[in-house]
Amino acid sequence: MTARKPAGSAVPPPYAARHARLRQAMRNAEVDSLLISNANDIHYLTPFCGEDSAAILTGKKFVLISDSRFAEEIEPLGQWLEIALRRGPIAEKVGEVAGDLKVKRLGVQAEHLTIAQRHQVAKAAEGAALVDTEGLLSALRAVKDEVEVQLIRRAVQCQQEALKATLEDLRVGQSEAEIAGRLEFEMKKRGASGAAFSTNVSAKANSSKPHYRPSDRVKLTAGKALLIDWGARVEGYCSDLTRTWAIGSMPRKIGEIYRVVLEAQLAGIAAVGPGASCREVDTAARKIIEAAGYGENYGHGLGHGIGLDVHESPSLSPRAAEGDTLKAGMIVTVEPGIYLPGVGGVRIEDDVLVTDKGHRVLSDWPKDVEHAVLL
Amino acid sequence: MTARKPAGSAVPPPYAARHARLRQAMRNAEVDSLLISNANDIHYLTPFCGEDSAAILTGKKFVLISDSRFAEEIEPLGQWLEIALRRGPIAEKVGEVAGDLKVKRLGVQAEHLTIAQRHQVAKAAEGAALVDTEGLLSALRAVKDEVEVQLIRRAVQCQQEALKATLEDLRVGQSEAEIAGRLEFEMKKRGASGAAFSTNVSAKANSSKPHYRPSDRVKLTAGKALLIDWGARVEGYCSDLTRTWAIGSMPRKIGEIYRVVLEAQLAGIAAVGPGASCREVDTAARKIIEAAGYGENYGHGLGHGIGLDVHESPSLSPRAAEGDTLKAGMIVTVEPGIYLPGVGGVRIEDDVLVTDKGHRVLSDWPKDVEHAVLL
């Protein structure tokens, strides 16, 4: 067994405020401690983002459970949190730490912990009652603090600069995979740790498939649509944009749906503000697409929160819960689309910060129809 | 509600054999049906690899549950499996399909399903008893069929060719992030859908951190170690190699541990064969590092299975279960390392196929100490 190291210093910003908000949520959930098993939740509460780790927060302490691979990296954090290095399974160390801390009601993350993990933790943490909680961290994480807003801004800037470099060398005949690879390379060169998600480059009719994967056999072709859905990850935080263009000249049908999607997207953005209903923001955009007769060709929600996860709370969707509303500090994507199988699809996506008085669009890549033809 | 489409044709290879093996495992687990919620398990059983989907296998049927984003992509599969498109939550559609199929004992994947998902499925699939199962698919997936071996071979080949292109342009002053980005770009150009995992490029003393993330501020420096741990993903399948070099000339200490790690790695590979104990393969390499006095500087297991996941069964580790043995068709990494904080680390990793009579190393990038100096 590896000894737990006691922490001395105060928790530094921005983590102190996040811990305090989480402790309030734990009191509301009537648990005296919380087992945090999701890597991005741990990263929200500490600078650490390694795998196979866990944390326990109590009213007074924060214990990070990890292993020797990360020992050198996390050692400096020992000044303000306790470190418990495990040699065996995570659950065993969780049980040991929970015993040392004498926790009575140990909250677990029902949306992250698997059935098997719950069995293991229940067995190892005999002295504590496990209490299933849901969404404590995701509710906190939905509202970004200033540090987070700045990181997402940097990610947006990085991905836009990378697009600029990629488009400068764009030419007919390049493959989708080549364009995607170049974009990811350019993001990394500009400080991204990587793509926020697998870059989607769809040339030709493939742009009608919202979750298409780029191919090295499909080449950029004049007179066809090119859709790029890409994002950067900067210090853990994601950005997520989509643009659609036509190559050489705008085909009539693509131009028609482009105008509808853009109008819907602008209406969606205009509806974003503090207190706005998540369902109604979705409706603001969707009704324009439906009125144009393309309701059946738009099968997904309007947008989602972004942060440490590329999809997080809130959800802008017809299926959002009745009372879900936007709050200042949330950052959401607004990304309506129209997909015509065999013809092509158009999606336009920006990242939008909810402010005290309304919203601010964090991305500024042109999207008017005059800028929608390349080469 | 979207109607379920009935399937007509026979299940094609290699899926038919995989379904048959899974049905045998289900009979052993005493369930008449299995809810498959893990994306890579679905991809093992079908060509489909989209997110937010699920599948139910019964003694006679296979039903894929997905949504409209993937409708165009999965439509051709409707010839040999049933497709159920959902508009609401996955759990609701699972309940509906389970009801239609009249399943009695619905196995769920305890190692993948979260506590919250289990609650939702239990509520929606009222007529069925949920039965927690564990490791049914991972046990099957550990033993690769010929199609899988070929895809992993292609991934290894792709990542080696990408390394060749990257090293040709290597020069002092390049940043770790730039090298990582270039490698990933070159893999994509050669048909990889992406990196199998976030590429690790560690220059200087950072190579002592087994899970370091490359920085755009750390530059390649003469006289220091360069460790690259990288892999390609080809049609879903991962490869995973590591090489360590010195830049310009080999520092004495790095050269010393390089020789120990290489000897340990060769001993580990030599121990790989059908029937070999997973623990003993680990020991074969570990005892060499311990005998050289570096046991405390080697804190991870010797290796792991690779396939659709970059870490899967089996595990070559001191903590492998007593009876775990290698079987022909398994592909494992063999990757001992020695990490000296503040000095640097060395890890050497190859991918090894267990054959009927022994093993075959799938990677052939040079690793003798004479090839371990670059530039």
CATH number, domain of A99, equals: 3.40.350.10
| B322 & B362 share domain | yes
- How large a percentage of chain A has pLDDT more than 70? 98
| A135 & A165 share domain | no
Question: Using CB atoms and an 8 Å cut-off, which of residues 317-356 of chain A contact chain B?
Answer: 319, 341
| A152 & A277 share domain | yes
Domain boundary among A88, A108, A141: A141
Please list the residues that pair with A353 across neighbouring strands.
A331, A360
| A162 & A302 share domain | yes
Residue B252: the pLDDT is: 95
B10 domain-assigned: no
Q: How far apart are CA B15 and CA B295, in angstroms?
A: 44
> Using an 8 Å Cβ cutoff, are A301 and A321 in contact?
no
Which chain B residues touch A194 with a CB distance below 8 Å? 184, 198
Closest listed residue to residue A174, CA positions, set A214, A205, A210: A214
Task: Please say if the pLDDT value at position A96 is more than 90.
Answer: yes
What would the pLDDT profile of A247-267 be if each residue is shown by its tens digit? 999 999 999 999 999 999 999
| B121 & B150 share domain | no
3-state class (DSSP) for residue B202? strand
CB atoms closer than 10 angstroms to residue A148: 21
Task: Please say if the pLDDT value at position A97 is more than 90.
Answer: yes
Respond yes or no on whether the N-terminal peptide bond of residue B14 is cis (omega within 30° of 0). Answer: yes
| B269 & B365 share domain | yes
A32 domain-assigned: yes
| A137 & A160 share domain | no
Q: How far apart are CA A334 and CA A349, in angstroms?
A: 5
Average model confidence (pLDDT) across chain B: 95
Q: Angle A115-124/B115-124 helices, nearest 10 degrees?
A: 120
Measured between CB atoms, does B50 come within 8 Å of chain A?
yes
Measured between CB atoms, does A23 come within 8 Å of chain B?
no
Q: How far is A120 from chain B (nearest CA, A)?
A: 11
For tokens 């990850």, what's the residue?
Answer: A233
Q: How far is A358 from chain B (nearest CA, A)?
A: 30
B5 domain-assigned: no
What would the pLDDT profile of A51-60 be if each residue is shown by its tens digit? 899 999 999 9
B6 domain-assigned: no
| B188 & B295 share domain | yes
Average model confidence (pLDDT) across chain A: 95
Measured between CB atoms, does A198 come within 8 Å of chain B?
yes
A4 domain-assigned: no
Of A112, A181, A299, the CB nearest to B69: A299
Q: Which amino acid is at B255?
A: G
Burial annotation A151-190 (CB, 10 A radius, 16+ → b, else e) = bbbbbbbbbbbbbeebbeebeeebbbbbbbbbbbbbbbbb
What would the pLDDT profile of B46-85 be if each residue is shown by its tens digit? 999 888 999 999 999 999 999 988 888 899 999 999 999 9
Sheet holding B200-203, edge to edge: B200-203, B225-230, B241-247, B373-374
A285 domain-assigned: yes
Of A68, A116, A213, the CB nearest to B110: A116
Terminal-to-terminal C-alpha distance of chain A: 63
Q: Do B185 and A184 touch (CB under 8 A)?
A: yes
Total tally of structural domains belonging to chain B: 2
Confidence of residue A68 (pLDDT cuts 50, 70, 90): confident
| B225 & B331 share domain | yes
**β-strand B105-109 against B129-133: which pairing, if any?**
parallel
Burial annotation B303-334 (CB, 10 A radius, 16+ → b, else e) = bbbbbbbbbbbbbbbeebeeebbbebbbbbbb
Question: Using CB atoms and an 8 Å cut-off, which of residues 228-267 of chain B contact chain A?
Answer: none
Confidence of residue B173 (pLDDT cuts 50, 70, 90): very high
How much is the average pLDDT of B156-170?
A: 97
Among A189-193, B23-27, B34-38, whose mean pLDDT is lowest? A189-193
Domain boundary among A101, A117, A141: A141
Per-residue DSSP letters for A297-366?
A: G--S-SEEE-SSSSSEEEEESTTS-TT-B--TT-EEEE--EEEETTTEEEE-BEEEEE-SSSEEE-----
Q: How far apart are CA A271 and CA A326, in angstroms?
A: 10
Domain boundary among B140, B174, B202: B140
Give the domain extent around A81: 15-141
Which chain A residues touch B188 with a CB distance below 8 Å? 177-178, 180-181, 184, 216
| B170 & B284 share domain | yes
What would the pLDDT profile of B33-42 be if each residue is shown by its tens digit? 999 999 999 9
How much is the average pLDDT of A227-232?
A: 97
Q: Do A178 and B193 touch (CB under 8 A)?
A: no
Which chain A residues touch B236 with a CB distance below 8 Å? none
Respond yes or no on whether the N-terminal peptide bond of residue B274 is cis (omega within 30° of 0). Answer: no
Which chain A residues touch B68 with a CB distance below 8 Å? 299-300
Residue A69: the pLDDT is: 83
Residue A205: the pLDDT is: 82
Confidence of residue B1 (pLDDT cuts 50, 70, 90): very low
Helix (H) or strand (E) holding A44: helix A39-45
Residue A4: the pLDDT is: 61
| A344-A347-A352 Cα angle (round to 5) | 175
| B89 & B154 share domain | no
| A311 & A336 share domain | yes
What would the pLDDT profile of B115-150 be if each residue is shown by its tens digit? 999 999 999 999 999 999 999 999 999 999 999 999
In chain B, DSSP finds a helix count (H) and a strand count (E) of 10, 20
B1 domain-assigned: no
A275 domain-assigned: yes
- How large a percentage of chain B has pLDDT more than 70? 98
Greatest Cα pair distance in chain B: 69
CATH number, domain of B312, equals: 3.90.230.10
How much is the average pLDDT of B196-225?
A: 88
Here the tokens at position B156 are 């290894």
